[in-house]
Structures are given as structure tokens and as C-alpha cells.
Amino acid sequence: MKQIVNIEVNGDVHEVAAEPRDSLLEVLRDHLGLVGPKRGCDGGGCGCCTVLLDGRAVYSCMVYVLSAEGSAVTTVEGLAEDGQLNPLQSAFVEAGAVQCGYCTPGMIMTATELLADGEDLDDDEIRHGIAGNLCRCTGYQKIVDAVQNVARNR
């Protein structure tokens, strides 16, 4: 039986009727049309569904949407400001950290949390931080470079 859940997504409050089994990812993609978060493994292993839930990176495929009642969600669609890419998104473009692009929204959301507290990050910390996100194209170095560029230049 469907239940009503209220979640704030990228600043807008939504009231969604969801089945108990529905994941946050399903609601974001299928109910709200936000296809930035991707369905990869659907089992908490690849990271391309990563979103911020109350500011913390989570696998949205593993979050039952009814448990997210009253939470604030940020997807990659919520990062651009006035139609301009934010500094992290721009850094991914400039560093060539995007190839097929499938992992990119999740990578960027994970990196957003890594960069959130404003502390310096060494490359090891960045690599450790994105360990829950798989990329099969870039070999990771350019992704690390992109995150490091933002960390250094802020």
C-alpha cells in the first residue's frame, strides 16, 4: 500500500506517494524525472546513484524512500547556479575527468561531501573518499586531479 512521503529535493519540497519497497533512487528518477543519479548495480557497490541526503553522500539505491521522510536531498541537478556549472563541475570538464559520463554524477556528489568541510585533502584522502564510486573509463587520475584542483583553489 502506498504511503505519502515529503522530501525536499534540490530546494523544492515534493509530496510523493511511494510503495514501502521504493528506493530513493526510483523516486528521484521515475517520479521526479531527475535522471542524474544513475541505476548501475542497484546494490550499493558502484556509486553512480550517489546523492546527498541531509548533506551526506549515500547510495540512493539503498535508501528506502519512506525512511527519508522530511530529509533534504541534493542531486547533481541541484549544483549548477543560474545555469552555470559550479566550480567542481567545471573542474571535471577542465581536467577531462569525464569520459562515458555514467559515473560522473555520483563522483561529483561524493566529492561534494569530501570538499564540504573546507579542509585540505591530499590525493590519498581523495582516493579513499571516492573508493565507493567505480569508474571504468578514466583510471581515476583525472578525477582525483579535478577534485584536487577545487580543493587547492578555493
What residues line the site for another protein (CB under 8 A)? 1, 3, 19-21, 23, 42-45, 47, 50, 53, 56-59, 61-64, 66-67, 69, 110, 113-114, 128-132, 134
Of 67 and 85, CB closest to another protein: 67
Shortest distance, position 17 Cβ to another protein, whole Å:
13
Shortest distance, position 135 Cβ to another protein, whole Å:
12
7 Cβ neighbours under 8 A, 6+ residues apart? 13, 14, 16, 24, 27, 65, 68, 69, 70, 71, 72, 73
Shortest distance, position 59 Cβ to another protein, whole Å:
5
Of 18 and 95, CB closest to another protein: 18
Torsion over CA: 60, 63, 64, 66 (sign): negative
What grid cell was written down for 138?
Answer: 578514466
